[in-house]
Amino acid sequence: PNLTVRDWQPPTGSHPEDHNPTRVVLGKAPEGALVHPCLELTGAPDEILADLAERGMVQVLIEGGAAVAGDFHRAGLVDRYMLYLAPALFGGDDARSLFAGPGAWSIDELWRGELISVDRLGGDVRIELAPNPAAADPGDATPYTQEA
């Protein structure tokens, strides 16, 4: 997997230069996983963010697969989507989706964001979206458990 957070630059002045982000594993890190010291949290996405807020964390960069992205999206807890598009295509019936879980069955049910910016980064494109208050309700999120 590509860890795009490695190249992510926070907004200027958002935190001191010598501050390393706290890594959080949702559920439990697999046995034998080589992970930097991190928090292991369980619960629903809103509970996880409340726990982080109690620890003084007010900005969270969520990077994960379709399940994590889908859960935070459906819970309505995302205030910015940073999507990266490479000049490559893949697909098929078994291809991974951006979000896991139920999808839209009609044009009327589509989630539509507000386009904030589009930037070229080398050969890739970064698209920044904000939630559109008039967008369809994304649904319910799944709690993370120790077995996740």
Q: Are 144 and 117 in contact (CB under 8 A)?
A: no
**Closest Cα partner for 49 from 26, 16, 65?**
26
Within 8 A by CB and 6+ apart from 4, the residues are 63, 84
pLDDT of residue 47: 94
CB atoms within 10 A of CB 144: 22
Phi then psi for residue 131, to 5 deg, are -60, 145
Residue 2 CA to its chain's centroid (Å): 14
**What residue segments make up the domains of the chain, in order of their start?**
4-131
Q: β-strand 124-131 against 113-121: which pairing, if any?
A: antiparallel
Q: Which CATH class is domain 4-131?
A: alpha beta
State pTM to two decimals.
0.71
C-alpha R_g of the chain: 16
CA distance 23 to 12: 21
In this predicted model, what pLDDT tens digit does every residue of 108-147 receive, in sequence order?
888 889 999 999 999 999 999 999 876 545 565 556 655 5
Res. 16: pLDDT tops 90 = no
